[in-house]
Structure 1
Amino acid sequence: MRALLIVNPNATSTTPAGRDLLAHALASRLRLKVVHTTHRGHAGELARQAATDGASLIVVHGGDGTVNEVVNGLLGPPKPASMQSVPIGPIPAIAVVPGGSANVFARSLGIHADPVEATNQLLDLLAAKERRRIGLAHCDNRWFTFNAGMGLDAMVVEAIEAARHAGRTATPARYVRTAVRTFFRTSRRAPTLSVRLPGRPPIEGVHYAFVSNASPWTYLNQRPVHTNPETGYDTGLGLFAMRSMGVFTSLRLSRQLLAPGAQPKVGALTRIDDVSNLTIHSSEPIGLQLDGDYIGQRTEVHFASVPSALDVVAPPAP
């Protein structure tokens, strides 16, 4: 089997020793080519070329941003709903060995968070020929794998990316501190979002909204954060729209999100699962993030679910 290993050497938890171990282990099983990314968007360029060259598998060693680039490089811009969303023809399967800070996509598929453990797991999965077909989602002419958001979480991601550019490492503690500061800085602002779903009345007065393609929504160290527990790679999208920035309501919601068997429920929350598509409108430009990458400010974004879009090397769905 011809395979390409795409390594992001700047990802948070990658090490030279770990990269060498992964490359040597895979080379014993596959006709492997190894390439390190050198600039933003490079992983997508490499994935697109690998598909053209006839590779059967792309292994990604990096974080969620690198995985997102690979998916978008393979599938290209999503097509309108009236057309075939996913390109016709063979598309390489994707395998992930975590190398970032959160690694939400890999962990949500049941891949070990530790890169060495994940390498051994990948070898076992390849030997057993384990594959899984998963659904994806898209918006703003770009695919995303596990979540997107408008408002609060996008502002947090923007601040984290600025900190990274300044040389500070992205850690769970930094995410929490940044989220708390951002919340209090914006808590007195009037809501700007409204959500439109097929066959339902519009949801007005929304402060921030998350759109999920999987669960968990993210992780804090080893603890999963579930916004839409019933959403998964075999369902439609999950919506989590909050109409309050009150401190006590937000503290109660935060405890629910982190609790085992979480089923978030407060009066100001609208939570809907298995939605085929939805549109979020903002009365003023507001931030958008996809898979933990800040995209920019938008006033209207349409989100759509595409079932059975991609093959991944992963354990069977639970």
Structure 2
Amino acid sequence: MRVMLVTNPFATFTTPAGRDTLANTLSARYDVDVEHTTHRGHAGELGARAAAEGYDAVVVHGGDGTVNEVVNGMLGAPDSTPVDPAALPSLGVVPGGSANVFARALGIDRDPIVATAQLITLLDAGSRRPISLGYTLNRWFLFNAGMGMDAIVVRRMEDKRRAGKKATAQRYLRTTLGAFFVPSITPPSFTVEVPESAPIEGVRFGFVSNTGPWTYLGTRPIATNPGTDFDHGLGVFAATSVGVLRNILLGSQLLQGSADPHAKHLYRDDDVDWVRFTGAEPADVQMDGDYLGKHQEMEFGCRRSVLHVAARSLEHTPT
């Protein structure tokens, strides 16, 4: 089996020793080419090369941003000619970032050593399964995208990372709470449209999910759309208020793992084919935890069975 191992040496929780151990472990069983990313966009270039050169699998050791780049490179842009996923390498992930939402949604353990053992078992058994992906701005997203408050949090976290601070779960929580409690942080409102429903006006923050959970707080999964998964359409979660009390009550439902998060200021649907966000002025946008700047209009779609991943059935308890 020919495998490309893509590692991000700048990911939050990767180490030289850990990367070497992973490379040596895989090389003992497969024909492995090890590639270390060196710049933004490099992982996408490597994903495109792996697809073009007919690798059997691509294993990514890094965070969600690195995995997102690799997938976009493998598949090409959503508006390009679709590729048969069976003709592409299967994708495997060994977590190395701070959240690792995509890997954990696939049932991959947070511990890189355990995850490597899981991955070898899957590769040896030829376990591949198709998953759906979302797309917007002519890019694929793996698990979620958002406009408004969550994107503001991502922007503020990126500022902190550039200042040399690690992206820990505790820092994400503090940054999120700070965004809601600081009066000067007021995201512009926008309208959300979904099929067969009246437009939702005055939305202050909205998420579009391709799977659940939406994120993790340490070991605790946060599922904004519990019924959304890799086999169906998109989940939409749109709130018309950034009021502290209202959102503390809503947040407590998410922290408690509610199967039906609800509130008077919330619109939620767990399975739609498309979503459109439109605002009178540009608002902050994020995709898979990567800040994309400010946009006035966003259209989200979903394509079924577009990528094969090294995984068994995804009916599992999130790790």
- Cα-to-partner distance string for 1:202-227 (whole Å, 9 max, x where unaligned): 11011100000000000000000010
Q: Are 1:270 and 2:254 counterparts?
A: no
Aligned to 2:30: 30
- After TM superposition, the structure 1 = structure 2 runs for residues 68-147 of structure 1, keeping only pairs within 5 Å, are 68-79=68-79, 86-88=82-84, 90-147=87-144
Equivalent residue, structure 2, for 1:236: 233
Contact 2:210 2:233 in 1 (8 A): yes
- Give 1:189 shift: 3.9
Among 166, 169, 172, the alignment partner of 1:175 is: 172
Q: Is the 8 A contact 2:101 2:216 kept in 1?
A: yes
- In structure 2, do the counterparts of structure 1 residues 270 and 55 end up closer, same or farther at CA, with 3 Å as the change threshold? same
Q: Answer whether contact 1:146 1:217 (CA < 8 A) is retained.
A: yes
> What is the root-mean-square deviation in Å for CA atoms of aligned residues?
1.5
In 1, Cα distance between equivalents of 2:188 and 2:10 = 37
**1:260 CA displacement:** 3.1
In structure 1, the gaps of 5 or more residues are: none
TM-score by length of 2: 0.95
> Which secondary structure does the structure 2 equivalent of 1:133 belong to?
strand
Q: In structure 1, how many angstroms separate the alpha carbons of the residues matched to 2:112 and 2:97?
A: 10
Match of 1:314 in 2: 311
1:51 aligned onto 2:51: yes
SS at match of 1:95: strand
C-alpha deviation, 1:88, in angstroms: 4.7
Aligned equivalents of 1:56 and 1:215: distance in 2?
27
Matched residue, 2:11: 11
Which moves more between the two structures, 147-156 or 239-248? 239-248
- Structure 1 stretches of 4+ with a deviation exceeding 3 A read 186-191
Retained in 1: the 8 A contact 2:136–2:299? yes
1:238-294: per-residue Cα shift (whole Å, max 9, x none)? 000001122211110010001134421111100011100111011111011000000
How many Å apart are 1:303 and its aligned residue?
Answer: 0.1
CA–CA separation in structure 1 for the residues paired with 2:108 and 2:63? 13
Deviation at 1:39, TM superposition (A): 0.5
Matches within 5 A, 1:149-164: 149-164=146-161
Give the superposition deviation at 1:187. 7.7
The separation in 2 between residues aligned to 1:95 and 1:77, in whole angstroms, is: 21
2:12 counterpart SS class: coil
Amino acid at match of 2:196: G
Describe the shift of the 1:199–1:115 C-alpha distance in structure 2 as closer, same or farther (beyond 3 A). Answer: same
Give the Cα separation in 1 of the matches to 2:306 and 2:123.
20
Contact map agreement 1:257 1:263 (CA 8 A) in 2: no
1:213 to 210, 218, 239: 210
1:235 is paired with a residue whose SS is coil
The answer for the alignment partner of 2:246 in structure 1 is: 249
| TM superposition score normalised by structure 1 | 0.95
- 2:276 aligned with 1:259: no
The answer as to whether partners of 2:180 and 2:244 remain within 8 angstroms in 1 is no
Deviation at 1:315, TM superposition (A): 2.5
TM-aligned CA deviation for residue 125 of structure 1: 1.2
- Identity percentage over the alignment? 52
What CA distance in whole angstroms lies between the structure 1 residues aligned with 2:246 and 2:184?
Answer: 12
- Give the conservation status (yes or no) of the 8 Å contact 2:223–2:257: no
Partner of 2:67: 67
2:42 is equivalent to residue 42 of structure 1: yes
Name the aligned partner's letter for residue 69 of structure 1: E
Change (3 A) 1:132 1:187: farther
What count of residue pairs does the alignment treat as equivalent?
314
**Contact between 1:104 and 1:146, CA under 8 Å: does it hold in 2?**
yes
* Cα-to-partner distance string for 1:6-56 (whole Å, 9 max, x where unaligned): 000111111122111111111122110001000111000011112111111
Paired residues of 1:188 and 1:245 also in contact (CA < 8 A): no
Structure 2 CA distance for aligned equivalents of residues 255 and 176 of structure 1: 13
AA matched with 1:127: D
Residues 268/145 of structure 1: CA separation in 2 closer, same or farther (3 Å cut): same
Gaps of 5+ in 2: none
